[in-house]
Amino acid sequence: MKKIFYFLFIFLFACHFNVMAQADSVKVSAGKEGKKDTTKVKPTFVFSGNPSLNFTQTSFSNWSAGGANSVAGVAMAGFKLIYTETKFTWETTLDMAYGLTYQEKDFLKNNDKIDFSTKFGLKSSKKWYYSLAFQLKTQFDKGYKSYPPPDKNNYTSKFMAPGYVISSLGMDYKPTSKLSFMLSPVSAKCTFVLDTMLSNRGDYGVHPGRKSLSEIGSLIKATYSKTFKSKSTINSSLELFSSWLNNFGNVDVSWEFDWNIKINKWFSSRIYSKLMYDDDIKTKDAATGKELGPRLQFKQMLGLGISLSF
């Protein structure tokens, strides 16, 4: 993982300097010929979204193999606002999800997500931008290790516990309108645990009794987004972050994939997955409570339901 991280940094820097050199040579030649690039982009706002409600229902009556009656629903919504002009771009996205499963007598949380990001770009060359980005990640509700929870006061997460705020300064490479690679040599990552019980335990890497952890490091973020003629959409993002001070070279990974498949005007199916590795999140053995260290985390969801796209 360390070698991959370093290779991507070197590769993107090399691409940037190569493009800048080509751009300078074009300007020089254009100056000699007396020609100037007067191409202008009319300022435009583009707003899009794809809210959906997916649900499942299972019931049993005299079923010899056994089973529990359940009803599950997940509401998901993604919104994007893009502003472009000749030298400046501004992209803002908001992704939210919340789901519950009602099984016998308990409501169980099956999905919970708030992800807000905004990025400003100042054009450097045809495909490169100087960029400043901010991102907030957290969840709406309390989460538990197991369901139904044996003790509802012993939760493992809630709103802004954890919460992640990431600010990044660097270069953004956009080979197409659908694909973006952001290279940030200087990035600040703040982990918030604003719940007293969780912060006193030192969860999510904060020191016991402290409610935040600040890290300075380097970040690479790749995003891909495509909308098909059928209004089906694919959105994927990969983030690689390495702290300068805490175990430099250890890379935190976050990869999300969301495929909203449009069936007709009202109905769609959804495939969502998230893979995550955070060096600051230590797992514990459920039986002994012994700390096992960081582990690869994975979440996936398949759904069928009502969906709107605009």
User: pLDDT band at residue 21, thresholds of 50, 70 and 90?
Assistant: very low
Task: Write down the residue that tokens 């498949």 correspond to.
Answer: 261
Q: What is residue 58's predicted lDDT score, i.e. its pLDDT?
A: 73
Residues sharing a CB contact under 8 Å with residue 56, sequence separation 6 or more, in sequence order: 70, 71, 72, 303, 304
Q: Which residue has the higher pLDDT, 40 or 298?
A: 298
- In-domain check, residue 26: no
Overall average pLDDT of the 166-193 stretch: 95
Q: Is residue 29 part of a domain?
A: no
Look at residue 26 and tell me whether its pLDDT is greater than 50. Answer: no
d(CA 254, CA 235): 14
What's the whole-number average pLDDT of the chain? 84
End-to-end CA distance of the chain: 38
Residue 129 lies in a domain: yes
Host domain of residue 260:
42-59+67-307
Within a domain: 15: no
User: How many CB atoms are located within 10 Å of the residue 182 CB?
Assistant: 24
pLDDT in tens, 63-92: 665 667 778 899 999 999 999 998 999 999
14 within some domain: no
Q: How many domains does the chain have?
A: 1
Q: Per-residue pLDDT tens for 106-164?
A: 788 889 999 999 999 999 998 999 999 999 999 999 998 876 777 888 899 999 999 99
- Tell whether 224 is covered by a domain: yes
- Find the angle CA(128)-CA(257)-CA(72) to the nearest 5 degrees: 145
Contact 241, 251 (CB under 8 A): yes
Long-range pairs for 246-252 at CB < 8 Å and ≥24 separation?
Answer: 246/215, 246/279, 246/280, 247/279, 248/217, 249/2, 249/5, 250/2, 250/279, 251/1, 251/2, 251/4, 251/5, 251/277, 251/279, 252/277, 252/278, 252/279, 252/280
- Which band of pLDDT confidence, cut at 50, 70 and 90, is reported for residue 11? very low
Whether residue 143 is contained in a domain is answered as yes
Rounded distance between C-alpha atoms, residue 172 and residue 220, angstroms: 10
278 within some domain:
yes
Residue partners of 146: CB distance under 8 A and separation at least 6: none
CATH of the domain at 290: 2.40.160
Q: What is the 3-state secondary structure (H, E, C) of the chain?
A: CHHHHHHHHHHHHHHHHHHHHHHHHHHHHHHHHCCCCCCCCCCEEEEEECCEEEEEEECCCCCCCCCCCEEEEEEEEEEEEEEECCCEEEEEEEEEEEEEEEECCEEEEEEEEEEEEEEEEEECCCCEEEEEEEEEEECCCCECCCCCCCCCCCCCEECCECEEEEEEEEEEECCCCCEEEEEEEEEEEEEECCCHHHHHHCHHHCCCCCCEEEEEEEEEEEEEEEECCCCCEEEEEEEEEEECCCCCCCEEEEEEEEEEEECCCCEEEEEEEEEEECCCCCEECCCCCCEEECCCEEEEEEEEEEECCC
When pLDDT is averaged across residues 44-54 and rounded to a whole number, the result is: 90
> Can you tell me which residue has the tokens 């299972």?
58
Greatest Cα pair distance in the chain:
87
The predicted-structure confidence for 96-106, as pLDDT tens digits, reads as follows: 999 998 876 77
Q: What is the pLDDT of residues 181-237, one digit of tens each?
A: 999 999 999 999 999 999 999 999 899 999 999 999 999 999 999 988 888 899 999
Q: Are 115 and 95 in contact (CB under 8 A)?
A: yes
Residue tagged 């919504």 (tokens): 77
